[in-house]
Structure formats: C-alpha cells, structure tokens
Amino acid sequence: MNNKYKYYVYTLVVSMLIPVEAQSIQDLERMKTEYQKIQREQAQEDISMKPLGTIDSEARLPRQVEITPYIVPFSKKDKKPLKYFGHDFFTQRDTIPFWENLPTPRSYLLGPGDELVISLWGETQLRETYTINREGKIYDAKVGLMNLTGKNIQDAISYLKDQFGRIYATLKGPNPSTFIDVSLGELRSINVNFVGQVNYPGVYPVHPFSTVITGLIQAGGVDTTGSLRNIQINRDGKLFSTTDLYAYFLKGESPEDIQLRDQDIVFVPVKNSIITIDSAVMKPAKYEGITGETVYDLIQYAGGLTQDASATVSLQRIKPVKERTENNIYENFYLELESTKLIETQNGDHISIRKLFQKQKFVQLIGQVKVPGNYNFYEGMRLTDLLRLGGGLADSTYIKSIYLKKAEIIRRNPNSRYEELININLGDIIKSPKDTDIALQNLDRIVIHANLNYFERENVLILGEVNIPGAYPLLNDDESLKSLIDRAGGLSSKAFDNGISIFRNKIYFEDPPKDKILAKLQEQSTYSTPEEELEELEEKNNKIKLAWEGITVILMPGDSIVVKEKAGAVLVTGEVYNAGLVEFQKGKSIRYYLNSAGGINNYGNRDNVIVVYPNGITVPWRRLRSPKVIDGSTIVVYQKENLVPFNLTEFAGTAASLVSSLVTIMVLTNQLNQ
C-alpha cells in the first residue's frame, strides 16, 4: 500500500481513539466517504502517472520529462491585448433609429414603392397621394402617366409642375396663382448586399435613407480583418464609390458617405496593412495604414504622444517577403519624432514610444509643521525655503509648539548602507539665516520635533462626592490624588475616602506607535458633562480600573476619578445561596458575611474566595489569614472545577463504539493493502 495512504489510515485511527464520546452512525458514514475519496484519488493518480524515463542512480533525477506549459489567460495578465481601432464603433449598438419626419436628403432618388403627396394650393386646390409603381411611374386621371425613374425630389417637383401645368394653366407664367408642393409619404425599404469582411454578410432590407455607416451597423459591423479605409460601393455592376472612415472617426469630418440605393453591393475588403502603436500614446491600438502614410501620421491617428512620452520612437519592422534573407528578416530602428515624417509605414510595423524615466525629485518635511508632506526639489533649494513652503516660522504662537533646539536632516549616503543624520538648531537659523542656513539635497527628509511642554494634556475628570466635580488640567508631572481632591473643593460629607475609583487610559499599558501616544496627549478636552463623558469612555472600553493604595498616588492625563458615597454594605456574590448586599458591621470577618448570604453552596470553592476593596485592591481569603472587610467591599466566591461524574452506562456505550470503529478500520486497511 502506498505510504501516503497508510498515513491517511493511521491518522483516522488516532483521531478515533482520541474522543471519549460514543461515535454515531453519521461518524461511520463519514469515514466511509473519506475512504471512497482516498480510493478515487489513488485511481486518478495511477491513471495520470506516466513513465518519465529511467532514473540516474547517482543524481536521482529523471533523464527525460514531459512538461506542459501553463498558459496565463489575458484576464490574469497585467497588460491587456490591444484593440483594433474603429471596429467597436459598429458593435456598440444593434439598432439605428430613423424618424420618418426627417427632411428628405437632396440626393435621395425616388423609386418603386415610394409614396408621393402632391398638393396644389392657391387658385386651384388639390391634394392627392400617389405610389410609384414598379416601372417608376405614377398615374393621374387628368394628367396621365408620369415617369419619375432616376429623379430626386427637386427634379421631381420641376417635372411634376410641368406635367400638371398642362392641365392647370395657373401653375405657369411669370405670375402664377397656383403653386405645387411635393413631399414623401410612406417610404419603401431597399435591399442592400453586404459582403466581404463584415460580421454578418448577406442581403438586408434597410431604410431608404441609409448610408454606408448606418448600413454596416445593421449588418453587424466590420470584422477586425476588414478594411475601414477602402469600403467599396458597387452599383449597376461597377465600382461607384469608396469610403475612408478614419477622417470621420479621428477628426469628426463627414466622409463621402454615399446614400445607398436598392441592390447596391457594399464590399469590405481585407486590410492591406496592420500597424501596432503602443506605450506612450493617447490611444494605443492596432491601426490600418494605407499607401503613402508615414509613421508620424499613424502616431497622430493614435492621438499623439502623452505628456510623459520620450521623443525617441522605436520602430520594429518585418521585411516584405521578397526582401527577406535567411538571416535578415527583422529590422529595428530608433527615430526622432520629426524624422518619422519621412518614413512610410509598412504592413506589420510595431511603433513604440517609451515613457520618460520617472525621476524622483522631492524633499520631505516631517513633524511639527503646519503643512507636512513631500515638496518638489529644485537645485539651490535651502532649508529656509522648505520651511517657508511648509507654513513658515513667522507665526509667533505656532513657533512655541516647535522644539527649536534640535531638528534633523536625514540624508542618503551613497558610501554607506545607513543614512546620514545632520543635527540642526532652528533657533540659530531663525536668528541668522544667512550664516546658518543649509543647502538641501534631493530626497532629504527634514524632521521637526514638537515641544510637548506647550501642548495642553488631557484633563482629569473627577465625579461623585467632591464639592466641585468636573474636569481639571494637571499642573505638574507629580500631581497626586490628594492634590486634585483639594483643588476640587475636598470631599463632601457623604464621601467614602476609601471608596475612590480611578480609571486610567489603556494607552499607558499597551504598546502603540509613539505618534499615536503623542496625538492622544495633545488632544483637546471636549467634555459635555462629566457623567456623560465617563459613560462614553466606559462604552468605548478604552479605560481600565486602577488599584491604588495611599492618597498620594500620582495621576496621569486622561484619568477619570469617581468618589463614591459610603455604601454601608458589603456585596457577596458568586457561589453562595443568597448572593446580594449584606449590612456592613465593623470588625466582622469574611465568614460572618458568607454566613449572612446563606453560606457557600455545593458548587462553591472554599479555597478560592477573594475580597475586592473599593480602591481596587484584591486580597485572597486564606483559612489561616483572613483579610479585613471594610465598608463597600465585594466578596467573590468562585466555582469549583467542573468535574463530570462517572457514568457507567455512557462508558459502556463508548467502549462498544470504539471496538466497532477499530473493526471497521482493520477492514479498510486490509482492503487498501490488496
């Protein structure tokens, strides 16, 4: 049996011997599923393993291997494939709206199926509708047959005026009193053939106002192999016109977009030249070139160079088949942009314009300045120039927040792996900048330190039984609890001097970055009311209770102090029969209060009882040493270890299940060995 699968089986054995609970039918079914999975994997591995040749006995390496390359799909590549320029114009839409009430194009030729509305107005009133028949004629009972084949609207108006003038004399003469008007009613559809490199070639019934562009859209657009610069219209068996769409796409110039006629053939030939332009141009893509166009022209088709483009153009060229030799197929050129006006393009050219090297030219201003950050470096830049850009040192108030005796310039050293540190005295530079100013170098970092003595530290909040509760700033580094209570007017008559709780910010006990500590110390106090602020601090859980002993304990910025009222009671909680408050009796022991709470219950641990004093100090109770209980204390009785009683019935079921599981594993092991 394969060692790999032996390991799987042994793992199953160990995992089943670890639990002490009885296994269920679901567990056995899961084991069966895992076994079947192992069998499938082994079978697949046997099928997929191919002989890799003999093994070198010395190197232990195969002499011959088969390697299947991994092809990365485009979606996983950083660079997307270039598109063919102009072709998505046709495929971004699938319908073209035409409004029947649009003015009729001057070049529109009347044909069978068109409906004409002829109106006479003035001395003679007439309005009739006629449909041109298959022979291109209309019939009027008074005028007779009139042939409109090959006529546009303007020609038709002149012709019909003459024909109706034979019956209505007032239409003629230098001063006619009757006037004629001709308009189109219902329009016919025309059938146009789209062939060549179109996405869906065939015969399409299109709107009679359709042009080459609108017709190609209805035919699904031009394939990427098809030309956009030599679209041909064949009419009556001859080449009628060609259309180049690049001027329309690139400059918005209206091309010679010939209106289509019935039975026209629109032929899209294959491109004769595909030229790739990438890198630092506005519209990288694959473009179609025509005879006589230069490399410069194609760069302009691509929108010209980007702002960060180099003036050097790379041209990669494949020689025409007739000019190739065995060792001379490819040509590479580097050209100046102006010289590209003289180089004509060839099919397969690849034009690349590299981007300029991104040179880093900046200095960094860090620390206690009004506007820290990166600043563009220029030759001749001095320290005072940078400080002026960062807000300057002329603000008499702000300058007090800066530590002037020491600042640093951190400069890169090309001769060492470590940076060079230059100490500077900002006070000297302010006094005599001409003598002490320093010339900066590219990539210098200037560090300005804060004067922490100037910043207001976070106030200390004192609440409860003091005469003047509120927020107080610390006056020195060693101010004590006693000093602050005195400043708060002293304790009230109800105050419990041993029941003072001190809450301190966790920032002093954690290891956050130094800048966060400084930012916290420099924050201004925005208390609303002391009670609301304390509640908010507790909700944020950013303060913890401090256990203290002696009223000379030193306070820290941001401390919150609560002076409690005398409780006159002791709280007994935990594993007692009747947890709650017990009236305080001076001199009584812990046993008295435990008995008053009904005593320790069956789950309580007599060896794990503590007394928590109002000031946060915690003392364990020992049988040979009983701590003193004072007013406001809390006595906590903890639970015994959770020992599960022995269950004979459950043990018997577990043992039987384990035996059954072992038998199953042995059967599986035998089957795997076969």
Angle between helix 648-673 and helix 25-48 axes, rounded to 10 deg = 20
Residue 599 sits in a domain whose CATH number is 3.10.560.10
Asked if residue 188 has pLDDT above 70, the reply is yes
Torsional sign, CA 83, 85, 86, 87 = negative
Residue 397 belongs to a domain: yes
Q: What is the mean pLDDT of residues 330-358?
A: 91
Q: Degrees (nearest 5) of the Cα angle 341, 344, 350?
A: 100
Residues 6+ apart with CB under 8 A from 59: none
Across the range 297-309, mean pLDDT stands at 92
Nearby residues of 476 by Cβ (< 8 Å), 6 or more positions away: none
Q: Which of 403, 432, 454 is the last residue of a domain?
A: 454
Per-residue model confidence (pLDDT) at position 63? 39
**Ranges 72-81, 122-131, 421-430, 643-652: which has the least confidence:** 72-81
d(CA 276, CA 265): 31
What tens digit of pLDDT does each residue of 549-577 get?
A: 888 899 988 899 999 888 889 999 999 99
Stated length of the chain: 674
Residue 179 lies in a domain: yes
Element (H, E) at 183: strand 178-184
Q: What mean pLDDT do residues 136-155 have?
A: 88
Same domain, 351 and 375: no
Identify the band that residue 656 occupies on the pLDDT scale cut at 50, 70 and 90. confident
Going edge to edge, which strands form the sheet with 115-122? 126-131, 115-122, 178-184
Q: How many CB atoms lie within 10 A of CB 650?
A: 13
- 242 and 334, same domain (yes or no): no
Whole-angstrom distance, CA of residue 283 vs CA of residue 276: 11
Q: Which long-range contacts (CB under 8 A, 24 or more apart) does 38-47 make?
A: 38/5, 38/8, 38/672, 42/2, 42/5
Let me know whether 489 and 426 are in one domain.
no
What confidence category does residue 72 fall into, taking pLDDT thresholds of 50, 70 and 90? Answer: very low
Cβ atoms 638, 611 nearer than 8 A = no
Pairing assessment for the beta strands 330-336 and 309-318 based on DSSP bridges: antiparallel
Encode pLDDT of 327-336 as tens digits. 888 889 999 9
The predicted-structure confidence for 455-498, as pLDDT tens digits, reads as follows 777 889 999 899 999 999 888 888 999 999 999 999 998 888 77
Of the candidate ranges 1-15, 356-370, 535-549, the one whose mean pLDDT is the lowest: 1-15
Mean of pLDDT over the chain: 80
The two tokens of residue 36 are 């079947």
Distances (CA, A) of 610 to 469, 583, 625: 32, 18, 12
For residue 556, the enclosing domain spans 460-565
User: Who contacts 150 (Cβ-Cβ below 8 Å, separation ≥6)?
Assistant: 109, 136
Instruction: Report if residue 14 sits inside a domain.
Output: yes
pLDDT reading at 9 higher than 70:
no
Nearest to 111 by CA among 129, 130, 136, 140: 136
Q: What is the domain-level CATH number for residue 125?
A: 3.30.1950.10
Q: Tens digits of per-residue pLDDT, 16-25?
A: 544 444 445 5
Residue 104 lies in a domain: no
Rounded CA separation 576/599 (Å): 6
In-domain check, residue 70: no
CATH code: domain of residue 532: 3.10.560
pLDDT of res. 350: 95
CB 371 within 8 A of CB 448: no
Q: What is the pLDDT confidence band of residue 513, given thresholds at 50, 70 and 90?
A: very low
CB 468 within 8 Å of CB 446 = no
Q: Are residues 401 and 437 in the same domain?
A: yes
Using DSSP's 3-state secondary structure scheme, residue 480 falls into strand
* 100 in a structural domain: no
Burial class of residue 325 in the structure, from the number of CB atoms within 10 Å of its CB (0-12 exposed, 13-18 middle, 19+ buried):
exposed
Same domain, 546 and 473: yes
Q: Are residues 376 and 438 in the same domain?
A: yes
Between 7-21, 391-405, 483-497, 621-635, the lowest mean confidence (pLDDT) is in 7-21
**Total structural domains within the chain:** 7
Q: 661 vs 515, which has greater pLDDT?
A: 661
Residues 318 and 279 in one domain: yes
- Let me know whether 194 and 167 are in one domain: no
**pLDDT tens, residue by residue, 424-459:** 999 999 888 888 899 999 999 999 999 888 877 788
Cα 484 from Cα 492, distance rounded (Å): 14
Give pLDDT, residue 510.
Answer: 65
**Sorting pLDDT into bands at 50, 70 and 90, what band is 150?**
confident
Whether residues 32 and 18 fall in one domain: yes
Flag whether 89 is in a domain: no
Q: Please measure the distance between the N-terminal and C-terminal CA atoms of the chain and give it in whole angstroms.
A: 8
Residue 306 pLDDT > 80, yes or no? yes
What is the predicted pLDDT for the residue at 48? 40
The listed range with the strongest mean pLDDT (31-35, 251-255, 380-384, 455-459) is 380-384
* 254 DSSP 8-state letter: P
Q: Could you say which of 337, 355, 373 is where a domain stops?
A: 355
Among the three residues 355, 371, 391, which one is the final residue of a domain in this structure? Answer: 355
Tell me if 570 sits within 8 A of 632, measured CB to CB: yes
Q: Are residues 556 and 464 in the same domain?
A: yes
Backbone angles phi, psi at 383, to 5 degrees: -60, -40
What pLDDT is stored for residue 65 in this prediction? 34
In which residue are the tokens 């908010």 written?
A: 536
Average pLDDT over residues 350-363: 89
Kindly report, residue by residue over 311-322, the tens digit of the pLDDT: 899 999 998 888
Whether 478 is in a domain gets the answer yes
Please tell me whether residues 207 and 172 are part of one structural domain: no
Calculate what percentage of the chain has a pLDDT beyond 70. Answer: 77
Q: Looking at beta carbons, which pairs linking 281-286 to residues 24 or more positions away fall under 8 Å?
A: 281/305, 281/306, 281/309, 281/353, 282/306, 283/85, 284/82, 285/82, 285/83, 285/84, 285/85, 286/82, 286/83, 286/84, 286/85
Q: Cβ(409)–Cβ(383) under 8 Å?
A: yes
Handedness of CA 50, 56, 61, 65 (dihedral sign): negative
Same domain? For 617 and 580 the reply is yes
